[in-house]
Chains A and B, each alone.
Chain A
Amino acid sequence: MKELESFRKETRAWLEANCPESMRHPYGSEADACWGGRNWTFQSKDQRTWLERMSAKGWTVPAWPPEYGGGGLNSRQVKVLKQELARIHARPPLESFGVSMLGPALLKFGSEELKKQHLPPIARGEIRWAQGYSEPNAGSDLASLQARAEDHGDHYLLNGSKVWTSYGDLGDWMFCLVRTGFEAKKHEGISFVLFDMSTPGLSTRPIKLISGKSPFTETLFENVRVEKNQVVGQVNQGWTIAKYLLTHEREMIGDSSQLRAGSIPISQAAIRALGTDNGILADSLLRPDIAQLEMDARCFQLTVERARDEVKAGVSLGAASSMFKYYGTELNKRRYELLMSINGSDSLIWEGDAGRDGYLPKSWLRTKGNSIEGGTSEIQLNIIAKHILGLPG
């Protein structure tokens, strides 16, 4: 305990000295998030400084081993670091699918060579990764994917397409599920491969969403060369890695929708918009729904805490990540439905300062995707039914 306290003291002092003042505020808009990569333009000198200092310390990935650019901290130290960052409202120095999704998979399944090649640039924010999973005809049934990688000796040639590539136009490298076994059962012919997105034959097309934004692309492959030494794990054994990575993605989605929910308590928004009468919300119809949502959100948050405590005590989360993904995203959708109701016709304003450029309706529309991306709610319920409850079929 004493060691942990001195770690806290050192961490606090280091953050005090190294976190630029302008990085000590929550994001004002999405543009404030730093994603790094070859094409990244830093928003400010401070944003660059903050990333450089944190990555030099290994603290963009505090739990990774130092030889791969990490901080080598144990889970208690990581918790202290998070608490100290939260204490000064520090922004994440880096948002990264390399950190949250590919990294854990590489650490678990990657060869030493691949780890040495890819992990340090991820930690430094130099390479931005994109995810190549879904295809136009492989959504919930992901394992039926058809992007075809044909064997050409020391390399594959990849043809086909991926869809729902987050920020595909901004990615430097892609981790991608491709079909390398054509006769095998659908789960057994998939490989997990890595390639540079500037390889000839690769192109992207933006997908415009109902919110008006285009955070996703379609990614097309025409004879794209994939080196054989960039296969993670064994050829045709990629499905295991894909599933492992999905559990991380689900935790992240379930978690982040809660973080957003935590930003402004919905009851405060309701009190501001609707007023109170003798301490009771002046809308007797919305009030019980708001209370129910807040209660469910609080119970969910307690369950996230309990799961963390259980993991610390050595109980594995496993398929329970599906429960968090399912419940967290459904809660977030309910929250935005209520926010739309609370704000009445003001919630319909799409542009202009009055409606903060349609922040609420655009966010509301975005939440509809929460229960689709990373496996739909229905897929999560299937996983719970089969892998936790042991129901047949």
Chain B
Amino acid sequence: MALILNEEQIMLQDAARNYLRESAPVSHLRQLRDQGSIEGFSRELWRDMADMGWTAILVPEEFGGLAYGYTGLGIVLEECGRTLAPSPLLATALTGVTALTLAGSKQQQAELLPAVAAGSHLLALACDESARHRPAQVASTAESVDQGYLLQGSKTAVVDGHIADTLIVNARTSGGISLFLVPADSAGVTIERYPVLDTHAAARVIFDSVKLPAGSLLGELDEGQDLLDRVLDAARTGAAAEMLGIAQEAFARTVDYLKQRKQFGVPIGSFQALQHRAAHLYAEIELCKSVVLKALQTLDEDPLDAAEAASLAKAKLCETAHLATTEAIQMHGGIGMTDDFDIGFFLKRCKILEHLYGDRYFHQDRFARLQGY
């Protein structure tokens, strides 16, 4: 598979870029924040995204979807990164749909996927129990009881937990880890929204003796760890795609600024100290484009073997998008520190994504383990 986009994908990229530039530029995020938005995204924008089919990109055709693949959705997420457009695309349309298509029963799929594709049902993966991402360390339990399970435990840093209709939860079962679909309004579920630094929000979720019917089990009993890893690898790749958009946009704005800003009577971009840092960053971003595309294509073509590419992409993008956004602040100088100027929004959103589903240290370690050291 050639590491380039095909014509159809380029058309999708253009369409997404034009739409987002028009309807959800960075000022859209700023407006949500200034209005004190509780949900952290615009339902109107979300309806548009659903109308354009973005919510249905991964959904199989039999459930009203487009079955267009991860590369397509990754392209859209990258564009969302460029304008910092907030939406449930990553949590619902990528992560949630991946879990349902990989492991959902026909009944679960028929119940949820058409609504997800239509944009009327939101999903959230609730898997972290500690502040640092350690998806294999699970204390939550789901005890087998009469005709179902009893879920006990708590989760933190649940992306879109405060708006989700259905939570996807991992818990310890008698012989391993299992995943469950938990309606957010189930008795015993407490969702505590908390604001995070990019004006999105996340949630802590507490499960206090939540009764789940047998049909809420997602996939095989006790076989949930492998499934969770596959879902996470898709989510990590999606996060990397969004970070690629952030890195490129922060860099483009910085290079523009270097050309405009004058000090000592010349554009500061004529100084070699800044030129070399910008040129190095250019090289790193070129590497990022390749590794994100590779990870997306691997999810489409070789999904059972996507772990290495996903960790590689997430680690590299954590490193480089971080560099791009921190260099952006430094090279913008004082104005970069002001809230009036947009560049700081990129730094904040990037930091959220750096922590999401494993930071660079987590993925560097995982990459090494996958290589046998």
Interface residues of A (CB under 8 A from B): 267, 270-271, 276, 279-281, 287-288, 290-292, 294-296, 298-300, 302-303, 305-306, 309-310, 312-313, 320, 323, 326-327, 378, 380-382, 384-386, 388-393
B267 contacts across to A, CB distance below 8 A: 391-393
Asked if A309 contacts B2 (CB within 8 A), the reply is: yes
- Excluding A312-B2, A313-B4, A320-B286, 8 further A-B contacts by CB distance (< 8 Å) are A291-B367, A299-B288, A300-B287, A302-B287, A305-B290, A382-B272, A391-B274, A392-B270
Q: Which of B239-292 contact A (CB under 8 A)?
A: 255, 258-259, 266-267, 269-272, 274-276, 278-280, 282-283, 286-291
Chain A hits for B289, CB < 8 A: 303, 306
The complex places the Cα of A298 from the Cα of B290 at a distance, in Å, of: 10
Contact present for B367 and A294 (CB under 8 Å): yes
B293 CB–A CB distance under 8 Å:
yes
B312 CB-CB contact with A under 8 Å: yes
Given contacts A302-B291, A385-B276, contact A267 B286 (CB under 8 A): no
Choose one: A290, A291, A299, A389; the contact of B279 (CB below 8 Å).
A389
B3 in contact with A309 (CB, 8 Å): yes
CA distance A279 to B267 in the complex (A): 53
**A150 to B294 alpha-carbon distance, docked (Å):** 55
Contact B282 A271 (CB under 8 A): no
| B372 contacts the other chain (CB 8 A) | yes
For A391, the closest partner residue in chain B by CB is B269
Q: List 24 A-B contacts (CB under 8 A).
A: A267-B373, A270-B373, A279-B369, A280-B369, A288-B368, A291-B364, A291-B368, A294-B368, A295-B315, A295-B364, A299-B316, A300-B287, A313-B4, A323-B283, A381-B275, A384-B283, A386-B275, A389-B278, A389-B282, A390-B255, A391-B270, A392-B267, A393-B270, A393-B271
- Name the interface residues of B284-314: CB closer than 8 Å to any CB of A: 286-291, 293-294, 312
Q: Are B287 and A327 in contact (CB under 8 A)?
A: yes
Chain A residue numbers with a CB within 8 Å of B107 are none
Report yes or no: B278 in contact with A306, Cβ–Cβ below 8 A.
Answer: no
Q: A391 and B367: CB pair below 8 A?
A: no
B208 within 8 A of partner (CB): no
B365 at the interface (CB under 8 A from A): yes
The CA of A267 and the CA of B259, in the complex, are separated in Å by: 43
A288 to B373, CA, bound (A): 10
CA distance A294 to B2 in the complex (A): 22
Complex-state Cα separation, A275 to B291, whole angstroms: 30
- With contacts A299-B291, A392-B267, A392-B269 known, is A384 near B282, CB below 8 A? yes
Give the shortest distance, in Å, between A269 (CB) and chain B (any CB).
11
Picked from B276, B286, B368, the residue with its CB within 8 Å of the CB of A303 is: B286
Tell me if B371 counts as interface (CB < 8 A to partner A): yes
Cα A242 to Cα B325 with chains together (Å): 38
B259 near A279 (CB under 8 angstroms)?
Answer: no
Asked whether B276 lies within 8 Å of A381 as measured between CB atoms, the reply is yes
Knowing A280-B373, A306-B293, A391-B255, the reply to whether A298 touches B368 (Cβ < 8 A) is no
A302-B291, A381-B275 are contacts. A327–B368 as well, Cβ < 8 Å?
A: no
Cα–Cα, bound, A310→B373 (Å): 34
Known: A267-B372, A299-B316, A302-B294. A385 touches B3 (CB 8 A): no
CA of A294 to CA of B369 in the docked complex: distance in angstroms? 12
Q: Is the CB of A281 within 8 A of B373?
A: yes
Residues of B within 8 A of A378 (CB): 276
Minimum Cβ distance to chain B for residue A391 (Å) = 4
A229, B255: Cα distance in complex, Å = 47
* Complex-state Cα separation, A299 to B289, whole angstroms: 9
Residues in chain A near residue B274, CB distance under 8 A: 391
Nearest chain B residue, comparing its CB with the CB of A294: B371
**Contact of A299 with B312 in the complex, beta carbons under 8 Å:** yes
Do A390 and B259 form a contact, CB below 8 Å, given A271-B372, A299-B316, A382-B275? yes
B-side contacts of A271, CB under 8 Å = 372-373
Whether A389 touches B373, Cβ cut-off 8 Å, given contacts A302-B294, A309-B4, is: no
A262 CB to closest chain B CB (Å) equals: 15
Q: In the complex, what distance in Å separates the CA atom of A378 from the CA atom of B275?
A: 10
Contacts of B4 in A (CB 8 A): 306, 309-310, 313
Report A19 CB to chain B, min CB distance, Å: 29
Q: Which residues of B contact A294 (CB under 8 A)?
A: 367-368, 371
Q: Bound state CA distance, A298 and B259, in angstroms?
A: 33
Nearest CB on A from B370, distance (A): 10
Question: Chain A residues near B364 (CB, 8 Å)?
Answer: 288, 291-292, 295
In the complex, what residue of chain A is closest to B373 when comparing beta carbons?
A281
Q: List the B side residues contacting A380 at CB < 8 Å.
A: 279
Q: Once bound together, how far apart are the Cα atoms of A388 and B279, in whole Å? A: 9
Taken residue by residue from 156 to 195, chain B's Cβ proximity to chain A (1 for < 8 Å, 0 otherwise) reads as 0000000000000000000000000000000000000000
CB <8 Å contact, A295 and B312: yes
- Which residues of A sit under 8 angstroms from B269, Cβ to Cβ? 385, 391-393
How far is it, in angstroms, between the C-alpha of A313 and the C-alpha of B2 when the chains are bound?
10
Known contacts: A288-B364, A391-B255. The answer to whether A279 contacts B373 by CB under 8 A is yes
Q: With A287-B373, A291-B367, A302-B294 in contact, is A391–B287 under 8 Å at CB? A: no
B258 CB contacts on chain A under 8 angstroms:
391
Question: Which partner residue on chain A sits nearest B369 by CB separation?
Answer: A279
The docked-state distance in angstroms from the alpha carbon of A31 to that of B45 is 66
Q: State how many angstroms separate the Cβ of B50 from the closest Cβ of chain A.
A: 32
CA distance A391 to B269 in the complex (A): 6
Give A327's nearest chain B residue, CB to CB.
B283
Given the complex of chains A and B, what is the CA–CA distance between A381 and B282 in angstroms?
10
A386: which B residues are within 8 A, CB to CB?
275
Determine which residue in B276, B286, B289, B312 has the highest number of CB atoms from chain A within 10 A of its CB, and name it: B286
Q: What separation, in Å, do the CA atoms of A382 and B274 have in the docked complex?
A: 11
